[in-house]
Amino acid sequence: MTKLTTALCTSLLLVTQTSADQTQVDRYLQLTEPAKSSPTGRLQAFENVFRDLEPAGLEDRIEQAYAKEFYFNDTFITVSRRKELIEYLTNASNKANFVNTTILDVAQSGDDLYIRWLLEMEFDVMGKPRYSRTLGMTHLRFDQRGQIVLHQDFWDSAAGFYQHVPVLGSMISWVKRRMHR
């Protein structure tokens, strides 16, 4: 990727994250330390955490993959400490019937990785299982030790989750129909 492409991706982030707290966006932009670990090892750490979100060993996998302080945003939540991420992902895992993330493609720009993925999950809504399948991308940046200091997801959370929520899902469908008229 060129510097122009990286600049465009950063600009896109700023436009699409209008609801993010400005200090969190500033933190995102300040994390520029280049990593010294190989892309394969860095990708493996990410994949170990998100492949299936299995609760057994999740805390250890997060502690290996993420620095003590970092920026994490997946459109649902923004956290900056391991403890917060462990609680969030453990809770998400416990509420889902299953979660599976398949890595489709990886691009590298300098020491940053851009991972395109397919997320499949099933969760219960009002006692009924709902299956969701959605595409997304994660921008990762690493510190000198090869641990993640930046994790920014880009995905359609309305298609992946919110459309399945009663009332909210109907509202999202209504808005989509209105936009396509």
CA dihedral 4, 66, 50, 10 (to 10 degrees): -20
Q: Is residue 133 part of a domain?
A: yes
Cβ pair 115, 103 in contact under 8 A: yes
Structure confidence at residue 126 as a pLDDT band (50, 70, 90): confident
Contacts of 30-36 spanning 24+ positions with Cβ under 8 A: 31/70, 31/71, 31/141, 31/149, 31/150, 32/141, 33/143, 33/144, 33/149, 34/110, 34/111, 34/144, 35/111, 35/141, 35/142, 35/143, 35/144, 35/146, 36/144, 36/146
pLDDT value of position 63:
96
Over residues 69-103, the pLDDT tens digits come to: 999 999 889 999 999 999 999 998 888 898 889 99
Q: Is residue 91 part of a domain?
A: yes
Q: Is residue 180 part of a domain?
A: no
pLDDT value of position 3:
46
pLDDT value of position 20:
46
> The domain that contains 121 carries what CATH number?
3.10.450.50
141 beta partners = 150
Which residue type occupies 157? S
Cα separation of 181 and 170, whole Å?
Answer: 17
- In this prediction, what percent of the chain has a pLDDT beyond 90? 34
Split into its structural domains, the chain has a count of 1
pLDDT value of position 157:
56
Q: Is residue 129 part of a domain?
A: yes
1-15 b/e (C-beta count within 10 Å ≥ 16 → b): eeeeeeeebeeebee
Range of the structural domain that residue 67 is part of: 3-156
Q: Is residue 178 part of a domain?
A: no
Which residue type occupies 120? E
Considering only 19-23, 41-45, 92-96, 105-109, which range has the smallest mean pLDDT? Answer: 19-23
Cα separation of 22 and 17, whole Å?
Answer: 9
Q: Is residue 141 part of a domain?
A: yes
- Among 15-24, 75-84, 166-175, the range of highest mean pLDDT: 75-84
Please tell me the pTM assigned to this model.
0.69
Q: Is residue 165 part of a domain?
A: no
> Would residue 125 be called left, alpha or beta, if left means φ above 0 and alpha means ψ between -120 and 50 degrees?
beta
Q: Is residue 175 part of a domain?
A: no
